[in-house]
Chains A and B, each alone.
Chain A
């Protein structure tokens, strides 16, 4: 079972949010993205990363992927 940083099981909403974040994080790692796609995805990833950190679901530094 997936848990937050404190080991508490995630709610359904948190699971969905974390899945979106992980998918986007994986997506921006691709090297075949057109500038318009990569920039838009990075611009979306940054606030999403802040939200999952706010909720204690993940806490990661994203500089190496451009965010």
Chain B
């Protein structure tokens, strides 16, 4: 068996100048394909005065007009059900998936051809192999297998890689945890939130995950703050690997390699990832936080050129790692969403930052953040459940410690803390929503 640490040694270690040249070749072909076959792109390219022949150097990429989710949704509203971005009729596709709809908007509907879907699995193979998953592994996919794309691609990637793949759909958390232990699973895939939920359920069932063969947990679907990662690694006794993808590209675009350099490699032979100022659209240098703009080469049915993702990231050069890959990284993975930030009494509040603090407290089992307006004053309240067996006498100490940590991280902003009863707060299998801004609804 090949012992390479890379799924694709040729391109994962390609010299940067060659990588850029390869990306430019693919970019031209995708732009030509979009122009020739997609009514949407023909229209937007013409409006921007762009033609694929203009793509002569790397800098020419900025000639391609940006694509927003709103434009895509409008296209699907105007030309239901799939819009006019697809290059062919739905009869040419073999799969249809949707976004999760966590933003409260109508989910996007996306079509894939045979090759597209094969490519989606391939991107997961880069991640799985990079995390050390091998054909002898037993993979468990803790996911509901609905029309939301979720871990479908990972499932196919595990199969392609040759691992024994167990679909954990349509069953309770209790049943899933029992299967993981009973079948000797070595690799588990889930969202960060659901990994915590399964660990909690294992404890209730008296199952010791740390003593199980699980050695790898592959996460996707939500940002993973360091404290959440530490918690999952402690509860599972396994190494955690972060990934991120989106339905709009049908798969993942980055993965955390085995040496865990503090970030995720961008799969750069299949994507061009730019980081821009969300307000001006200006491309930002390495090290500055900005919005991801992605161009995907893999999807034939839906060419995706310069799509504004609303994900916030910080890009680092590949030299930040010593694992031999020449692909740039996103430090800490996805650090939030452009529209996640809330302003409370003049202070910026990010859900991921709050989670990073709350998860440091092992006595907290679940939490929700609520922002309200009381008269002319905004209030931010942390609702939390404590773990089973938490001593009431320790509550004041926990509350004070949380208040101090939260205030220190938010320019002195005073949070309110409310203790809730066991099971009062919602649990999540997929994308968790732990912040509610009730000011918007009023």
Contacts and interface: CB of A to CB of B under 8 A. Distances in A.
Interface string A42-67: 11011101100111100101110011
Nearest to A51: B122
A56 B10 contact: yes
Interface string A4-38: 01100000000000000000000000000000000
Given A54-B11, A56-B269, A62-B113, A5 B25 contact: yes
Contacts of B92: 63, 66
Given A42-B114, A61-B33, A63-B300, A54 B26 contact: no
B160 interface: yes
B82 interface: no
A63 B10 contact: no
Interface residues of B, number: 26
Interface in B356-395: none
Given A63-B92, A63-B113, A55 B25 contact: no
A48 B75 CA distance: 33
Contact of A50 (B29, B87, B115): B115
A49 B87 contact: no
Contacts of A47: 118, 122, 160
Contacts of A66: 92, 114
Contacts of A43: 114
Contacts of A62: 113-115, 300
B194 interface: no
A5 B22 contact: yes
B115 A67 contact: yes
A5 B139 CA distance: 35
Nearest to A49: B115
Contacts of A50: 115, 118-119, 122, 298
Given A55-B10, A56-B269, A6 B22 contact: yes
Given A47-B160, A61-B33, A54 B269 contact: yes
Interface string B285-298: 00000000000011
A59 B113 contact: no
Interface of B: 8, 10-11, 18, 21-22, 25-26, 29, 33, 87-88, 92, 113-115, 117-119, 122, 160, 269, 297-298, 300-301
Given A56-B269, A61-B87, A63-B92, 8 more contacts: A5-B22, A5-B25, A43-B114, A50-B115, A53-B298, A56-B10, A59-B26, A61-B300
Interface of A: 5-6, 42-43, 45-47, 49-50, 53-56, 59, 61-63, 66-67
30 contacts: A5-B22, A6-B25, A42-B114, A45-B114, A46-B114, A46-B115, A46-B117, A47-B122, A47-B160, A53-B297, A54-B10, A54-B122, A54-B269, A55-B10, A56-B10, A59-B25, A59-B26, A61-B33, A61-B87, A61-B115, A62-B113, A62-B114, A62-B115, A63-B92, A63-B301, A66-B92, A66-B114, A67-B113, A67-B114, A67-B115
